[in-house]
Structure formats: C-alpha cells, structure tokens
Amino acid sequence: MSWLTDPLGYDFVLRALAEVVVMGATCGAIGAYVIVRRLAFIGDAISHAVFPGIVLAYLAGLSIFGGALVAGLITAFGIALVARGGRIREDAAIGIFFAAAFALGIVLISTRQTFQGDLTGFLIGNLQGVSAGDIAISAAVGLAIIVVLAAVHKELVLVSFDRTLASALGYPVFALDALLLVLLTVTIVVSIQAVGIILVLAMLVTPAATARLLVDRFVPMLLLGSVIGAAVGVAGYYLSFHLGTASGGTIVLLATVLFVLAFVASPTHGLLGRRLRRHPQHAGASPAVDPPTGHQHG
C-alpha cells in the first residue's frame, strides 16, 4: 500500500490531489452540457483563446486568472454574435476566433524570450505548482457553478432539449445560452492551471461522454461524469507520480482509456452490449430494444 500512501507525505501532492478532484468534478458536471449541447468545439476555441489573455495579463502585471476569463468570455460571445447573424455558420466563426486568439498569444509570447519558461505551464498545466490559494479559488468557483447549475437546472435542460418549446413558453433562451457559455468559460479558466490549455477540453468532454454511454438520464449523467472526472484526476495523478510522466497528459489518457472501455463494454450503449442484443441467445433474457426511429412514413 505504500505506493498509495507514500506520495501523501508531500504537501504538493496533497494540493495537487485537491485541485484535480475539484477540477475533475467541475469539468465532468459542466461536461454533461458540453455533450448534449454539442459545445465541444466552442469549448476548444475558448480554451485556446484564453492564451492571449494570460499573456497580456502577465505583460500588464494583472491577475492572470482575470485576463484568461476576459479573453475567454470575449471569444465565447464573439462566436455567438458572429454566428447569430446567420451569414457565417458557427463552426466557421469558431475556427476564425480560435486561430486568431491563439496566433495573438504566440505573437505576444515571441516578443520576449523570458515568457516561454513562465507561460508554458499554462499550455501543459502545472499541478505541482498549485498553491493553497489556487485550490480555494477553484473550490469556490466549482461550488458556485454547481449552485447555479442546480438553481436553473430544469430551465437549462429545457432549453438544451427543446429550444422551440422554451421560446414558446416565454423563457429567456438567449440569456440561458449565455449563462451556459459563462459557466463553461469559467470552468475552463479555473481548470487550465491543473491540466493546461491543450488538455482542458478532454476533461470537459471525455468523462461526460463516458457517463453518457453508461446512463440514459441527464442528472445521473452529470453526477457520474463528475465522479469520473474526479476519479481519473486522482488515479491519473498517482500514475504520473510513480511513472514520472506529465500529470495532465496522464490524467487525460486515463480518462480516454475509461471512455474506450465504456464504448466497447457499456451494457446499454457499448459495442459488445449491442452485439449481445442482436443475438439474444447469448444474452439470456435481454429485452429487445426498438431502434430509435428517425423517419417512418406510414
């Protein structure tokens, strides 16, 4: 058991574990919306777009967290605004903002050699360097996100499932969309320190997608995604500690392994499960499930 307990003797390990639990749980929860609303690409754009915000804040000696948040929000709403006109589709708008923001970050960083050492932490994450203050911020933000998600839960699910009904019932559809984008941006910004810009998207998408393969209800999906996020965070960190590998990358790879397992072996949605249902003699009394019907003209 010493491989489990020995690392706990170090303070930086305890801090890193606390951070990955908070980050994994928050990403897993908001990830449920990323999956059902198909926000993965926009999340990717936001996570890259915070980069110039971080560099500018660093240049100006301002809060890096604040710089990242402002840059992320500008990107999220810039995309929404350009795509809303209808002339440019959302995927193109995302591509434009994504590339422009990241290019701006690279140009800024190239102006001074000294940046590179200081700022690469944000690209690949730096769990070892997490401070008690960082954890407090992450925990407070994570808690606030959970409270907001719970408070407007049914309205967010309604607008996600059926925008037309939500509008018809007089719900503020655009305000609810904007709220979701803000929550997503805030989650990305607080997670970047732990796993880095490149990998934050994986923590938003992979645990939630794994959960979706295992359950067919939204709330269980959100909770399970949250648990998976926290669990792969802890297990991945341990792995990286013993293997001497990069912690962010190890966590994401472990999450991916879990996803592949669920994709193959999920009782309801996995490849094996489907095969068993197609040949019921192998699966005992497994009930036949109607295929989802898209178009049936009768």
Residues found near other proteins in the complex (CB under 8 A)? 36, 86, 151-152, 154-155, 157-158, 160-162, 164-165, 167-171, 212, 215-218, 221, 289-290, 292-298
Which is nearer to other proteins, 98 or 218 (by Cβ)?
Answer: 218
Which is nearer to other proteins, 71 or 221 (by Cβ)?
Answer: 221
State the minimum distance, in angstroms, from the CB of residue 213 to other proteins: 10
Which is nearer to other proteins, 89 or 112 (by Cβ)?
Answer: 89
State the minimum distance, in angstroms, from the CB of residue 139 to other proteins: 24
State the minimum distance, in angstroms, from the CB of residue 84 to other proteins: 12
State the minimum distance, in angstroms, from the CB of residue 87 to other proteins: 10
Which is nearer to other proteins, 6 or 162 (by Cβ)?
Answer: 162
CA distances from 73 to 69, 120, 187 (A): 6, 22, 11
Which is nearer to other proteins, 100 or 152 (by Cβ)?
Answer: 152
State the minimum distance, in angstroms, from the CB of residue 220 to other proteins: 8
Which is nearer to other proteins, 158 or 239 (by Cβ)?
Answer: 158
Which is nearer to other proteins, 84 or 112 (by Cβ)?
Answer: 84
State the minimum distance, in angstroms, from the CB of residue 287 to other proteins: 10
State the minimum distance, in angstroms, from the CB of residue 219 to other proteins: 9
The DSSP annotation for the chain comes to -HHHHGGGGSHHHHHHHHHHHHHHHHHHHHHHHHHHTT-HHHHHHHHHHHHHHHHHHHHHT--HHHHHHHHHHHHHHHHHHHHHTSSS-HHHHHHHHHHHHHHHHHHHHHT-TTHHHHHHHHHH--GGG--HHHHHHHHHHHHHHHHHHHHTHHHHHHHHH-HHHHHHTT--HHHHHHHHHHHHHHHHHHHHHHH-HHHHHHHHHHHHHHHHHH-SSHHHHHHHHHHHHHHHHHHHHHHHHHHT--HHHHHHHHHHHHHHHHHHH-TTTSHHHHHHHHSGGGSSSPPP-PPPPS----
